Structure 1
Amino acid sequence: MGVEDIRSIEFDEDIQMMCKSKAEEFRLIGYEHVTGKDIWNCVSSKYEKEGFPPIYKLVNDILSLKVTGFMNFMTMSAYKGSTFE
């Protein structure tokens, strides 16, 4: 395993931790069934067309995600019939 592989794993763990933290924040205000994976699906859906942004933008998008933006994403996903597992 090279240095880049280790950095990639650490990066993935950091992103997962931020998503879990945001999900916990949403649970504290009453959205009990939100998971870190739900947060990641919401945030990463913006990057499907344009590709992944620089790390600072990715971190900002996760940490600044509001409940209204998340619920809009979930509603639109339900209308489109998207399932995230």
Structure 2
Amino acid sequence: MEILQKASEWKEMVDPALESKAGEFHLMGYEKATSEDIWNCLVQKVWKGDPELRLYEVVGDIFHLGTNTYLSYLTVNAYKDDDGLMASIAAVTGSESDNI
């Protein structure tokens, strides 16, 4: 019998696979890769939310996650963080973010 659950419900069970993927990325030179970043990448870029999946689908997606997708996820998040940083600077200095 195949069990269908929300992806988030499988997270604890697939943590060893996430750690393994983080280790793989470390060997490829991505030293700061974490299992949490990999999970968030899957949620945002691969699954686009919290779909119902079978365990083998979640594990398969973890092991098939490529560095291109992961780096794209990191890049988008870096841009999002920069926008927040600029807004914070503007709030502190009292200036418009366009003038910074």
- TM-score over 0.5 for the pair: yes
1:21 pairs with 2:56: no
Structure 1 residues 34 and 22, CA gap change in structure 2 (3 angstroms): same
Q: Please state which structure has a larger fraction of its residues in strand.
A: 2
Q: 1:77 is matched with which residue?
A: 77
2:17 aligned partner, one-letter code? M
Higher relative contact order (CA 8 A, sep 6+): 2
Deviations 1:5-51 (A, max 9, x none): xxxxxx54431110010000000110001111111111122241x62
Structure 1 residues 75 and 52, CA gap change in structure 2 (3 angstroms): farther
Name the larger-Rg structure.
2
Alignment of 1:23-42 (within 5 A): 23-42=22-41
- RMSD, aligned CA: 2.0
1:16 aligned partner, one-letter code? D
On the 8 A contact 1:39/1:70 being kept in 2, the answer is yes
Q: Runs of 5+ in structure 2 lacking a partner?
A: 1-9, 82-100
1:59 shift after superposition: 1.0
- Runs of 4+ in structure 1 displaced over 3 angstroms? 11-14
On the 8 A contact 1:22/1:36 being kept in 2, the answer is yes
On the 8 A contact 1:47/1:53 being kept in 2, the answer is no
The normalised TM-score by structure 1 is 0.70
The normalised TM-score by structure 2 is 0.61
